[in-house]
């Protein structure tokens, strides 16, 4: 009989313990839910631009007048891709720093005039496509914080200068500034050791800096229809170059070092003012007559293909 009384007492203690634990857990869950609800805000509270808020909300299968928490935004990992042909014309990217784990940001064909300094918070970004942001006028120095960036597209923008911090993008593989107002490349471009594709077509850039010769991984150099007057004297040091397109530029000569470019398959200097055609002694006829097609191999990022132009 004493044994059964002891057992009953023990079971009662266990039941009380379980009840208290369950009640505590429910309380914690309720408090967590309450806190989450208190931290929830409308997408437009995070992103003042209504069209931009709608683009972000779509990532969560919501609308701009729905709610979201700061943690949800910060924990989102993936891509944000939009243009004016979709949910509206975006004018302001304010609040972009909340999406700090974005890997791809594509916002083309819109009315963005300023890339906010907070873009530097997106330290996991690998692709930044601002092509055809027709009113975009400058890049902030904070762009240099994007250490993982591999593709940067700025074609058809109003940008006239590249920030010096561009030299910090050590993983950059493709840079397109075609059809911009940029008139000079910073010498620091020679620090972009992983750069493979450089597009300067239809710009008013006149001088290619000698530091361009330091780009050991450069494969494609496209200066077509630009104001470029020279090739760096030591361009032959960029030994992985496969294609140089200088069609309709302002070249008057070709440096002898091009004969060191053993991988060169395409060398287009038609419609220039070259008086000495010695390069025809240094390169094969198929190369300088542009008979070899050089395929634009895509850059593979997280299993997806991205082209430089």
> How many domains does the chain divide into?
1
Is residue 34 pLDDT above 80, yes or no? no
Query: For the residues 68-75, what does the mean pLDDT come to?
Result: 97
What is the DSSP annotation of 139-185?
--GGGGG-TT--EEE-TTS------GGGGG-TT--EEE-TTS-----
Is residue 21 pLDDT above 60, yes or no? no
- For residues 199 and 131, give the distance between their C-alpha atoms in angstroms, rounded to a whole number: 13
Residue 300: per-residue pLDDT: 83
- For residues 70 and 57, give the distance between their C-alpha atoms in angstroms, rounded to a whole number: 13
**For residue 51, is it within any domain?**
no
Residue 83: per-residue pLDDT: 80
Return the minimum-mean-pLDDT range out of 22-36, 61-75, 216-230: 22-36
List pLDDT tens digits, range 121-167. 999 999 999 999 999 999 999 999 999 999 999 999 999 999 999 99
Confidence of residue 304 (pLDDT cuts 50, 70, 90): confident
**For residue 201, is it within any domain?**
yes
Domain boundaries, position 193: 86-297
**For residue 15, is it within any domain?**
no
Structure tokens belonging to residue 296: 């634009």
Instruction: Name the helix (H) or strand (E) containing 31.
Output: helix 2-39
* CA 87, 88, 89, 91 torsion-angle sign: negative
**For residue 113, is it within any domain?**
yes
Q: Where are the alpha helices (DSSP H) in 40-159?
A: 43-46, 50-59, 70-75
> What CATH number does residue 107 fall under?
3.80.10.10
Is residue 36 pLDDT above 50, yes or no? no
Is residue 33 pLDDT above 60, yes or no? no
pTM: 0.86
**Residues 132, 154 contacting (CB under 8 angstroms):** no
**For residue 2, is it within any domain?**
no
Measured from the Cβ of residue 294, the count of other Cβ atoms closer than 10 Å reads 15
**Residue 87 burial by Cβ neighbours in a 10 Å radius (0-12, 13-18, 19+):** middle
List pLDDT tens digits, range 38-65. 589 999 999 999 999 999 999 999 999 9
Name, in order, each residue with C-beta under 8 angstroms of 210's C-beta and a sequence gap of 6 or more: 187, 232, 233, 234
- For residues 245 and 200, give the distance between their C-alpha atoms in angstroms, rounded to a whole number: 10
**Residues 187, 165 contacting (CB under 8 angstroms):** no
Residue 294: per-residue pLDDT: 82
**For residue 196, is it within any domain?**
yes
**For residue 115, is it within any domain?**
yes
């Amino acid at each position: 009989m004493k044994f059964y009384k002891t057992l009953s007492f023990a079971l009662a203690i266990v039941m009380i313990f379980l009840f208290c634990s369950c009640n505590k857990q429910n309380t914690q869950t309720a408090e967590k839910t309450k806190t989450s609800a208190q931290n929830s805000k409308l997408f437009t509270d995070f992103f003042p631009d209504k069209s931009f808020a709608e683009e972000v909300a779509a990532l969560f299968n919501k609308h701009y007048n729905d709610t979201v928490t700061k943690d949800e935004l910060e924990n989102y990992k993936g891509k944000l891709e939009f243009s004016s042909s979709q949910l509206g014309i975006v004018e302001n990217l304010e609040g972009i720093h909340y999406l700090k784990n974005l890997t791809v940001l594509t916002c083309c064909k819109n009315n963005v005039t300023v890339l906010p300094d907070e873009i530097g918070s997106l330290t996991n970004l690998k692709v930044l496509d601002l092509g055809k942001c027709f009113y975009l006028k400058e890049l902030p120095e904070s762009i240099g914080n994007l250490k993982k960036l591999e593709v940067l597209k700025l074609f058809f923008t109003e940008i006239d200068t590249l920030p010096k911090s561009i030299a910090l993008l050590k993983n950059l593989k493709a840079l397109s500034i075609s059809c911009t107002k940029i008139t000079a490349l910073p010498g620091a471009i020679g620090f972009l050791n992983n750069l493979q594709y450089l597009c300067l077509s239809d710009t008013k850039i006149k001088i290619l800096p000698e530091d361009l010769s330091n780009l050991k991984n450069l494969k494609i150099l496209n200066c077509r229809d630009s104001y470029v007057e020279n090739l760096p004297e030591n361009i032959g040091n960029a030994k992985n170059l496969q294609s140089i397109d200088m069609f309709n530029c302002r070249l008057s000569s070709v440096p002898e070092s091009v004969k060191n470019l053993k991988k060169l398959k395409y060398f287009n200097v038609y419609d220039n003012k070259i008086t000495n055609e010695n390069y025809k002694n240094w390169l094969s006829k198929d190369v300088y007559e542009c008979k070899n097609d050089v395929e634009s191999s895509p850059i593979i990022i997280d299993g997806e293909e991205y082209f430089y132009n």
